[in-house]
Amino acid sequence: MHNSLLFCQPILYTHPIHCRLQCRASASVTVSVPRRETDPKKRVVITGMGLASVFGNDVDKFYDRLLEGKSGIGLIDRFETSNFPTRIGGQIKDFSSEGYIDSKNDMKLDDCWKYCLVGGKKALENAGLGVGTAEHKKINKSRAGVLVGSGMGGVDTLFKGINTLIDSGYQELSPNLIPYMATNIGSALLGIDIGFLGPTYSISTACATSNYCFHAAANHIKKGTVDVMLAGGTEACIVPAGLTGFVACRALSQRNDDPATASRPWDKERDGFVMGEGSGVLVMESLEHAMKRDAPIIAEYLGGAINCDAYHITDPRADGLGVSNCIKQGLENAGVAPEEVNYINAHATSTLMGDLAEINALKKVFKNTSEIKINGTKSMIGHCLGAAGGMEAIATIKAITTGWLHPTINQFNIDPIVELDTVPNKKQEHEVNVAISNSFGFGGHNAVVVFAPFEA
C-alpha cells in the first residue's frame, strides 16, 4: 500500500500554463521534473533583432512576406548560369547598406560581411542600443561581445582572389584577401564598429552555425562574464564557386522552370534545397541587465544543445538519433518538458533524406504531436546555410510575439510519413507556448535552441 501511494508536488515555472500539479510516485523511482532558470542574472532574454534578407532588411516586413506565403526564390542574375544544372536561388537584389556601412568599405567588403554589419547594427537599434545613442554609451563595453558565425565566410572574395592570381599574378592580389575571406571577420568588423570589447569571435559549423552561436552566447551570459551579446549568422555564397560546389554534391533543386515552387520541404516531389543568403542577428542579454535599462524584452531564450551525429560528412542518420538526442538535451537544458512544446521551426531543407530524418527525430521526442505545428521557413527564402538559424530564430520569435505562424509553401503532396501539421500553404493563428528551432549541418553538426514568451 505504502509504495503505491501517490502524492502531488507543485512544479515551479514562470509561465502561467505551468502552474499545475504533477503527480509522481513516492517510491524509490523519482520522476525528473524540468525546472527553468529563475536567477535574473542567468536568464537570457532577446531584446533586439536584425537581418538582411531576400525580402529586405526590415524584420517586420520580412515576417509579413513570410505570412503572405510569398516566395523569394528566382533566377540568379548575379553571374552567368546558363551552363549550370541549377540556375535559381534566394538571391538578395538591390541590397542597401546606407547608414550602416561607409561608402569606402561598402565598395570593398564581401557581401557576407555587409549582411553581417547591417543585420547586427539593426539588431542593436531594435534593442535601443544603436551606435551613438545614450544607451549605447552606457554599456560596459568590456562586458559586451559579438558572436556572428558563417559557414563559408568570404567565399566571393576568395573566388575573385584566385581568378586574379591566375589571370594577373600574385602582385595584383588585394592585401584584404586573407582577412576578408576568413570566417571570423564579420564578428571582428562588427565589434570594431560598435566598440564591444568582450568575447568576439566566430563559430563555423556549416548550416548549424547560427544556433551554435546562440548557444555559446547564452552560455557566456549565464556564466556571468558578459551582460550583452550580439549573436547569429551571415552568409553570401550565391557565387559561381558556391553554387557549383553544391551542384557537385547533388544537393540542389533543378526546378529552374518554376523557381517559386522549387523549395518544397516534406513534399513527395522535392528534389533538393535552394540556396539563399543573408544574415540574422539577435541581441541577447541577461534579464537583470535588460531590466536595469528598461529594455524592450521581446522573448526569452530558455536554452539549447549541440551535438554530433558522428555518422557521415554530408548525410544525416536516417533514424534521426543524433537529432533526437540533441532536442532532448536542449529541452532539458531549457527546463522544458516535451509536452510543453507546441511549435517547431524545422530545419526542413527540402532534401530527400534530411527532411525525413528530422521527422523521425521529432517522433522519437514528441510522443503526442497532435498539438504541435511545424513549418519550414526555407520554403520561401531558401537555405541560407550559416545564416539560416539566425533568420529562422527571428521567424520563430515573430511567431511568438504575433501569434501567427507563417505557412510552409509548396505543400502539394506531403510525404505520408510526416503526420504533423506543417502549416501547409496558408498562415495559421497559433498561441506559442514553447518553440524550438532546429539547425543541422554537414559534418553531422546538430543544434537546437528553445524560445518562449517572456514572463516576468
Q: Rounded to whole angstroms, how far apart are CA atoms 319 and 343? A: 22
46, 282 Cβ separation under 8 angstroms: yes
> What 8-state DSSP symbol labels residue 42?
T
34, 336 Cβ separation under 8 angstroms: yes
Query: What residues form DSSP beta bridges with 200?
Result: 146
Pairing of strands 228-235, 200-201: unpaired
Q: Is 169 exposed, middle or buried (0-12, 13-18, 19+ CB in 10 A)?
A: exposed
Least Cα distance to 224 among 12, 425, 39 occurs for 39
Q: Is residue 2 among the annotated active site residues? A: no
Q: Rounded to whole angstroms, how far apart are CA atoms 409 and 407? A: 6
208, 446 Cβ separation under 8 angstroms: yes
Q: What residue has cell string 571582428?
A: 188
Distances (CA, A) of 53 to 50, 63, 265, 384, 394: 10, 11, 20, 9, 12
Q: Is residue 383 among the annotated active site residues? A: yes
284, 396 Cβ separation under 8 angstroms: no
Q: DSSP for 149-205, please give it.
A: E-SS-SHHHHHHHHHHHHHH-GGG--TTHHHHHSTTHHHHHHHHHHT--S-EE----
Residue 15's identity, in one-letter code, is H
Pairing of strands 299-308, 428-429: unpaired
273, 252 Cβ separation under 8 angstroms: yes
Q: DSSP for 395-432, please give it.
A: HHHHHHHHSEEPPB---SSB-TT--SB--BSS-EE---
Residue 321's identity, in one-letter code, is L
> What 8-state DSSP symbol labels residue 383?
B
Pairing of strands 278-286, 44-52: antiparallel
Catalytic pick from 383, 406, 430, 445?
A: 383
End-to-end CA distance of the chain: 42
Catalytic pick from 18, 220, 289, 347?
A: 347
Catalytic pick from 112, 116, 207, 326?
A: 207
Q: Is residue 312 among the annotated active site residues? A: no
Name the residues annotated as catalytic: 207, 347, 383
